[in-house]
Amino acid sequence: MPPIKKYLLTPGPTEVPPEVLLEIAKPVIHHRTPEFSAELDRARQALKPLFGTREEVLILNSSGTGAMEAAVCNLLAPGEEAIFVNGGKFGERWGKILNAYGIVAHEIKVEWGHPVEPEMVEQFLARYPRSQAVFVQASETSTTAVHPVETIAEITRRRDVLLVVDGITSVGVFEQKMDEWGVDALVTGSQKALMLPPGLGFIALSERAWRKAAQISTPKFYFDLKRELKAQRDEHTTAYTPAVSLIRGLNKSLELIHRETLPAVFGRHRLMAEAVRAGARALGLELLAARAPAPGVTGILAPQGIDGTKVVRMMRDEMGVSVQGGQDHMKGKLIRIGHMGYVSPFEMLVAISALEIVLSRLGYRFPSGVGVAAVQNVLARSASI
Amino acid sequence: MPPIKKYLLTPGPTEVPPEVLLEIAKPVIHHRTPEFSAELDRARQALKPLFGTREEVLILNSSGTGAMEAAVCNLLAPGEEAIFVNGGKFGERWGKILNAYGIVAHEIKVEWGHPVEPEMVEQFLARYPRSQAVFVQASETSTTAVHPVETIAEITRRRDVLLVVDGITSVGVFEQKMDEWGVDALVTGSQKALMLPPGLGFIALSERAWRKAAQISTPKFYFDLKRELKAQRDEHTTAYTPAVSLIRGLNKSLELIHRETLPAVFGRHRLMAEAVRAGARALGLELLAARAPAPGVTGILAPQGIDGTKVVRMMRDEMGVSVQGGQDHMKGKLIRIGHMGYVSPFEMLVAISALEIVLSRLGYRFPSGVGVAAVQNVLARSASI
C-alpha cells in the first residue's frame, strides 16, 4: 500500500495549495461576463512583476509548449534564420518547433548540465548575421542548469536581434527582469512556480517583439498573439474560450505569492536549492549542473552502479515521494528533485531522507543521517526560517 | 445583491457537477506515471461511444477552437481547396481558420437559424471538384440550428471527400455516429455536454483522415495529431504536459454520463429542448431555428421593441439565471437558453419563469404563467420523469 501522505517534489507539476484547489473547484462562471473580465484583468496585472515587465502578459489555454510555439509562429516567418541554444530536452524543443515552421535554425549545442557560454551566442550571431532571434531557456528543466539570460540579452540587444526565453521553470522561481535586461519574449506555464495544475500557458512580448510580430504572417489561428492581445487588453476577455477555473485558481495563487512577497518566494527557492544540494554533497553525490544550478530544481547524479530509474521508482512507489529521473542519455543516471512553488524548506529533509533510505537499500554506503544533517545545517543557518 | 443560488443555462460553459469539481480539486499527480496513464486510457476509451467511433479519441490541452485548428492543419495543405458551411459564428470560424492556413475555402453561406441544404453541398462539390474536404457544424451554437450531418456524410463519402464536423455542442448532446455515418473528423470541447470547466479539446479522425494526415506537412507542432496519436495510443501519455486535473474530472463526468446511460442523457436533452420551446411558444415568442432546432440550445427571438441584451442582463444580474444573447447582427434580438450537460428538466421552469418575469417588467404582455404551464405540460407528459 502506498503511504497516505504524498510529496510531489518533481520539477513540475508541483503541488497546488488547498486554497487554490478549492478556488478551482468553485462553480464555473461564463467567460463573457464582467465577473470573468475582472478575474482576467486582475490575473494579468498580478503576473507582471513575476515577468519583470510592464508589457502585457497574455494567458493562453495551452501548456507551456503551446506558448513556446506562439513565440515562434508570431515572431518568425518560414525561411527566416534563428539561433537556438540546445542544452537539454527543452532547448531541443525550440529546435523542433523552429524546424516545424521552416525556420533556418542554427543550433548551439551545449553539453547537458552546462550553461551556454555567451561568447558562443556572440560567435553564432557573427557567423549567421541574418539571424532574427535567439531562443534559449532561462532554466533548462531537463538538466537543472541555468543559462545566463541577462548577459545574452546584452549581446542580442546590441545587435538588434530578438531574444526569446523559455521561463517555464524560471518565472516565479527566481527574479526575471524582462524589461530591464531586454528580453523580447518570455514564456511560462501554470504547473511550476505558479502553483497551479497544468493547463495554462503565458507569454509576454517586448515592444520590439510586437513590432516584429506585426510584419509576420506565418499561418496560425489559435496562437495568434495579435488577436489575443486585442481580446485580452482591449476587450477584457480571451479570443477563444478560456480555462475559467484555472484562471480563478491563478488569482488565488498570485494572491498567495504576493502575500509572501516575491523576494521571500525567491529566497525560499534559493534556500531549498542550497539545502538539498548540501544534503546530496554530504552523501558523496555529485550534481549534474554544478557550475550553474537552477534555483527550482536540482539534478543529482546516481552513484556508480545504481540505477537512477529504480531510485526514483522506489522513492515514489514505496515512500510516496515523487521526484523525477533523467531523460534521453541521462535516463537512469539522474535524480531530479523539484523545489519550486508550494514547497516548504522542511520538505528538503523529506526528499533527502527518502533518497538516503533508498540508496542505502540499494547498497550505496554512507554514514546514516549525514544527508539530512547537512540539510538541517543549512535550514538552521537561514534567517528566513 | 445577486441571489445566493445561480443557474448557468448558457450554451457553454455549462454547470459542472459537484462530484466533478471535487475530483478536479484533488491534489495534482505527475503526468509521466502509471497512475496518470491509467486515467488517460480510461477517459479516451469512455469517450468513444459519445463520438460513435471505434477510432482513437485524442485529448488536447486547448479549447474546442484549438481542436478545430488541429483538424485544419493536419488534414489540409496550403493551396488545397475546401468547402465550408457558414451558417453562424462557428461556421464563420471554419472559414477564418482555413484562410489563416492558406486553404482556398469555398463558402456555403446559410441564413442564420437555417440548416444547410444538402443539395448545396452537392452543388459546391460539383462546382469545386478539387475540394478535399467539407467543414460543417453538427450544431451551430450561435444560431441554435443543426445541420444534417448524416445526409452530408452520404454525399462526401460518395465523392471521397473528407467531412470535418464541429461537434462542440453535439458530442454528448445527441447521438453521433461518426463511423456509421462516415464522418472523418469530429471535434469537441470540455465545457458543454461533458460537464467540465473549459480547458480540454477533443478530436477523433477516421482511417481515411489519418491516411490524408500522413501526407500533410503544414507547419504545426502543438497540434500535430500524428505525434499526439503516437503519445496517447502507444505511450499512454500526452505529447506535452496535459491538463491533469481536468482529465481526472473528465473521468468522473464520463462515469456520471455512462451511469445515466447515453440514451437517457440524449432523451433528457430532447425533453428539455421540447419543454423550453413549448414555454417560449406559449409566451407568443418565435424560435430562430424553428426548422431544425438544436437539442442542446434554444434560440428565442426577442419580442418586437424589446432589447434582448437587456433581457439577458436582467435575468443574470437580478435573478442569477445566466442565459446568452445573440452575436453579430442578432445582438439584442436573440435569447439563447442552454440545456445540455448537468441540467435538470425542472430547470426549464426556472429559465422560462425568469424570462416571463423580465419580459413582463419590460412591458411585454401575456397571461402570467402561461410559459411555465406549457413547460410543466411537457414535463408531466414525459415518461422519463
Which residues 113-152 on chain A approach chain B with CB closer than 8 angstroms? none
Q: What is the pLDDT of residue B265?
A: 97
Closest-CA residue of A relative to B241 is A63
Note whether B93 and B87 are within 8 A (CB): no
Is the pLDDT reported for residue B178 higher than 70? yes
Note whether A172 and A50 are within 8 A (CB): yes
Domain assignment present for residue B18? The answer is no
- Cβ-Cβ contacts under 8 Å, B96 against chain A: 221
Which residues 179-238 on chain B approach chain A with CB closer than 8 angstroms? 189, 191, 197-199, 218-224
Mean pLDDT, all residues of chain B: 97
Per-residue pLDDT tens for B128-170?
999 999 999 999 999 999 999 999 999 999 999 999 999 999 9
Tell me the average pLDDT across A145-151. 98
Shared domain for B174 and B36, answered yes or no, is yes
Domain assignment present for residue A59? The answer is yes
Q: Which of B197, B219, B242 sits opposite A78 (nearest CB)?
A: B219
Interface A–B counts its CB contacts (< 8 A) at 175
d(CA B268, CA B274): 10
Q: What is the pLDDT of residue B383?
A: 81
Shared domain for A248 and A314, answered yes or no, is no
A6 and B27 within 8 Å at the Cβ level: the answer is yes
Shared domain for B301 and B253, answered yes or no, is no
Domain assignment present for residue B249? The answer is yes
Closest-CA residue of A relative to B5 is A27
Per-residue pLDDT tens for A340-383?
999 999 999 999 999 999 999 999 999 999 999 999 999 999 98
Question: What's CA A96's distance to the chain center, in Å?
Answer: 18
Domain assignment present for residue B25? The answer is no
Shared domain for A345 and A242, answered yes or no, is no
Q: Which of B6, B64, B100 sits opposite A219 (nearest CB)?
A: B100
Tell me the average pLDDT across B258-267. 97
CA distance A196 to chain B (A): 9
Shared domain for A191 and A301, answered yes or no, is no
Q: What is the pTM of this model?
A: 0.94
Strands B81-86 and B297-301: unpaired
Domain assignment present for residue A45? The answer is yes
B23 contacts: CB under 8 Å, gap ≥ 6? B248, B249, B251, B252
Listed residue (A98, A95, A99) closest to A85, CA to CA: A95
A199 and B25 within 8 Å at the Cβ level: the answer is no
Q: What is the pLDDT of residue B162?
A: 98
CA distance B180 to chain A (A): 31
Tell me the average pLDDT across B22-46. 96
- Cβ-Cβ contacts under 8 Å, A101 against chain B: 219, 221
CA distance B101 to chain A (A): 5
Shared domain for A173 and A315, answered yes or no, is no
Which residues 249-308 on chain B approach chain A with CB closer than 8 angstroms? none
Q: What is the pLDDT of residue B2?
A: 64
Listed residue (A341, A262, A348) closest to A20, CA to CA: A341
Domain assignment present for residue B24? The answer is no
Listed residue (B187, B226, B235) closest to B51, CA to CA: B187
Q: What is the count of structural domains for chain A?
A: 2
Mean pLDDT, all residues of chain A: 97
C-alpha dihedral sign at A71, A73, A74, A75: positive
Q: How high is the ipTM of this complex?
A: 0.90
- Cβ-Cβ contacts under 8 Å, A102 against chain B: 219
Listed residue (A190, A180, A110, A191) closest to A145, CA to CA: A110
A219 and B26 within 8 Å at the Cβ level: the answer is no
A224 and B102 within 8 Å at the Cβ level: the answer is no
A27 and B8 within 8 Å at the Cβ level: the answer is yes
Q: Which of A24, A97, A189 sits opposite B25 (nearest CB)?
A: A24
B197 and A246 within 8 Å at the Cβ level: the answer is yes
CA distance A118 to chain B (A): 29
Q: Residue B188: in which H helix or E strand, if any?
A: strand B185-189
DSSP string, A251-285: HHHHHHHHHH-HHHHHHHHHHHHHHHHHHHHHTT-
Q: What is the pLDDT of residue B384?
A: 79
Q: What is the pLDDT of residue B223?
A: 98
Q: Which of A15, A220, A244 sits opposite B13 (nearest CB)?
A: A244
Domain boundary (B258, B280, B314) is at B258
B66 and A240 within 8 Å at the Cβ level: the answer is yes
- Cβ-Cβ contacts under 8 Å, B105 against chain A: none
Shared domain for B198 and B295, answered yes or no, is no
CA distance A119 to chain B (A): 30
- State the helix-helix crossing angle for A347-361 and A308-319, rounded to 10 degrees: 120
Q: Which of B27, B63, B221 sits opposite A15 (nearest CB)?
A: B27
Per-residue pLDDT tens for A152-183?
999 999 999 999 999 999 999 999 999 999 99
d(CA B200, CA B89): 20
B199 and A198 within 8 Å at the Cβ level: the answer is no
Shared domain for B97 and B240, answered yes or no, is yes
Domain boundary (A209, A224, A258) is at A258
Domain assignment present for residue B21? The answer is no
Shared domain for A182 and A289, answered yes or no, is no
Listed residue (B59, B63, B67) closest to B237, CA to CA: B59
Per-residue pLDDT tens for A8-51?
999 999 999 999 999 999 999 999 999 999 999 999 999 999 99
CATH number for the domain that contains residue B180: 3.40.640.10
- Report yes or no: B338 at the A interface, CB cutoff 8 Å: no
d(CA B86, CA B97): 12
Q: What is the pLDDT of residue A2?
A: 64
* Domain limits for position A48: 31-258
Domain boundary (A258, A274, A307) is at A258
- Cβ-Cβ contacts under 8 Å, A191 against chain B: 28, 241
All cell numbers assigned to A232: 485580452
Q: What is the pLDDT of residue A80?
A: 98
Shared domain for B232 and B272, answered yes or no, is no
Tell me the average pLDDT across A141-152. 98
**Percent residues over pLDDT 90 in chain A:** 98
CA distance B69 to chain A (A): 7
Q: Give the model's confidence band at A258: pLDDT under 50 very low, under 70 low, under 90 confident, else very high.
A: very high
Shared domain for A86 and A114, answered yes or no, is yes
Per-residue pLDDT tens for B271-302?
999 999 999 999 999 999 999 999 999 999 99
Amino acid at A223: F
Domain assignment present for residue A22? The answer is no
Per-residue pLDDT tens for A199-211?
999 999 999 999 9
Closest-CA residue of B relative to A77 is B219
Q: What is the pLDDT of residue B4?
A: 85
Q: What is the pLDDT of residue B94?
A: 98
Shared domain for A232 and A341, answered yes or no, is no
B241 and A12 within 8 Å at the Cβ level: the answer is yes
CATH number for the domain that contains residue B284: 3.90.1150.10
Q: Give the model's confidence band at A1: pLDDT under 50 very low, under 70 low, under 90 confident, else very high.
A: low
Alpha helices in chain B (DSSP H): 18-24, 34-51, 64-75, 89-100, 118-127, 149-158, 178-181, 207-214, 225-229, 244-260, 262-282, 308-319, 347-361, 370-381
Tell me the average pLDDT across B1-13. 87
A197 and B12 within 8 Å at the Cβ level: the answer is no
Tell me the average pLDDT across A263-278. 97
Q: Give the model's confidence band at A4: pLDDT under 50 very low, under 70 low, under 90 confident, else very high.
A: confident
In order of A5, A180, A187, the CA distances from A183 in angstroms are 41, 8, 11
Per-residue pLDDT tens for B86-118?
999 999 999 999 999 999 999 999 999 999 999
Q: What is the pLDDT of residue B285?
A: 98
Per-residue pLDDT tens for A90-139?
999 999 999 999 999 999 999 999 999 999 999 999 999 999 999 999 99
Listed residue (B101, B350, B109, B384) closest to B261, CA to CA: B384
Is the pLDDT reported for residue A219 higher than 80? yes
Q: Give the model's confidence band at B375: pLDDT under 50 very low, under 70 low, under 90 confident, else very high.
A: very high
